[in-house]
Amino acid sequence: MTVIVGLVHNGRVHLGGDSAGVAGLNLTVRRDPKIFRNGPYAMGFTTSFRMGQLLHHAFKAPRPKGDLDRFMTTVFVDKLRACLKDGGWARKDSEQEKAGTFLVGVHGRLFAVYDDYQIGEPADGYAAVGCGGEFALGALHATAGLDLKPRERLEMALAAAGHHSAGVSSPFTYVTARKVRT
């Protein structure tokens, strides 16, 4: 299920997401959003609505400070692990903790958090996750050199994923991370 897309434009992170809830061949269009703000972060999740609910409503997102790479891979991940564990979502597989996948935008940078808690930052300035992610990445790549607004690029990426993936459904929603206060 799902496609979550993100891109960095003029120092801000923009996210878009679909509304599909998929179980086997059953599709439910969900009202609860897969993308949202939590403190200074814009977030968009795949994997599980339960995980997304915890990210949105239970995760006490720590304020970024210092080296953002170090912060995301240590402080942010440690708080995330604790939240998911407390909320009953974190799992263990062969003694390794597993969670889910989501995008995070903060301070003008876009990160992907993967199910093993690794943090990745795309060099291209855009990312897409979920079953429609590859279709969305193609659209983001194809529109990279065009003079389009971020929302237009996100709309095209979501439309491509919705057209080609049975696990993606409109309506599509959008959120932009807050600007960094200097």
| Separation of alpha carbons 63 and 39, rounded Å | 8
Sign of the alpha-carbon torsion through 4, 108, 87, 74: positive
- For residue range 14-23, what is the model confidence (pLDDT) as tens digits? 999 999 999 9
- For residue range 57-99, what is the model confidence (pLDDT) as tens digits? 999 999 999 999 999 999 999 999 999 999 999 888 888 888 9
- Which pTM does this prediction carry? 0.94
- For residue range 48-59, what is the model confidence (pLDDT) as tens digits? 999 999 999 999
Flag whether pLDDT at 182 surpasses 80: no
Amino acid at 60: K
Instruction: Give the pLDDT of residue 181.
Output: 63
